[in-house]
Structure 1
Amino acid sequence: MNIEKAINKLKEKGYKRTKQRERILEIFSEQDQGYIPAKTILKEIQKDFPGVSYDTIYRNLYLLAEEQVLESTELDGEKHFRFHCDTHGHHHHFICTGCGKTKAVEFCPMDKIAQSLDGYAVDDHKFEIYGKCPGCL
């Protein structure tokens, strides 16, 4: 995902292009596909918008996640966000707990798990693997 694609996606849903949303998206574009803690995003955006509140940032982050512009995960009890993965097809991620970078995992464990859920209807799933990338080891 990139900034223009994200903004166009929001426009299609009827959301306005605001300077704060645009700055949030810029922060993500400056990262190398890694998850960023919400607190870090708040600190970065307050450099340009000193009066912006914690609630405003969180509302925007959750809106962007709901509209599939961002993905979220929880690391160390804190929400982290990143641009939504542009990779086509179903896959999962390894997430580095050191730097937040991700690596796609093309294997889906639901193929095996579904066998033990006979009679159950799975609506959705999320599978993440946490550890250290080679650069953080």
Structure 2
Amino acid sequence: MQRSTRQRIAIAGAFASTHRPLSPQEVLEVAGKAIPALGIATVYRHLRDMTESGELQAVHLPGLNPMYELATHEHHHHFQCSSCQRVFDIHECPGELSGLAPRGFSVHSHALTLYGECSDCRSLARKAKAKAAEAPPKPRKG
């Protein structure tokens, strides 16, 4: 069992407060609010230790460096926002997908990632669109 240090508690708190997979940089940003002197090397060291001890698990998505989430999660899938790149949990599974495998293949597990825009980014886009519609037209040069 690892020692409970202020840094480790702040890092665990980052996952508990966000309820989603986090990149090391996101962990630094969230945990750094509690411990401003927290450094990225300390975050990486604790992520490694917490993964090895089974507290965290790595989340591997195509084109991204590993992210991390609490290991208490049951089988689930992920949603990645194409605008802000944040990753969120999807707590439902479409079920047995082995019928999609090519003939003769044996499926051992599956992972599914949905891509789109999160509610925060959609809201920002709507606000920006509304603000642009309210703005008077710019005068033409020439």
Common fold: TM-score over 0.5: yes
Answer with 1 or 2: which has the greater Rg.
Answer: 2
Q: Unmatched 5+ residue regions in structure 2?
A: 123-142
Q: TM-score, normalised by structure 2?
A: 0.58
Name the structure 2 match of 1:94. 79
One-letter amino acid of the structure 2 residue matched with residue 82 of structure 1? E
Q: Unmatched 5+ residue regions in structure 1?
A: 1-13
Q: TM-score, normalised by structure 1?
A: 0.60
Q: Is residue 136 from structure 1 mapped to residue 121 from structure 2 by the alignment?
A: yes
Deviation at 1:86, TM superposition (A): 3.2
Percent of aligned positions that are identical: 21
When the two chains are superposed, the root-mean-square deviation of aligned CA atoms in Å is 3.2
> d(CA) in 2 for partners of 1:49 and 1:117?
54
- The equivalent position to 1:111 in structure 2, one of 98, 112, 125, is 98
Residues 60, 66 of structure 2: 8 Å contact kept: yes
Q: 1:86 to 1:78 in 2, by over 3 A?
A: closer
Residues 24, 45 of structure 1: 8 Å contact kept: yes
Q: Which runs of 4+ in 1 moved over 4 A?
A: 120-125
Cα deviation, 1:49-100, whole Å, max 9, x if unaligned, reads 51x442221121133234153442447634433333534xx44233334343
Residues 95, 128 of structure 1: 8 Å contact kept: yes
Name the structure 2 match of 1:16. 3
Residues 70, 82 of structure 1: 8 Å contact kept: yes
Higher RCO (CA < 8 A, seq sep 6+): 1
Deviation at 1:36, TM superposition (A): 2.6
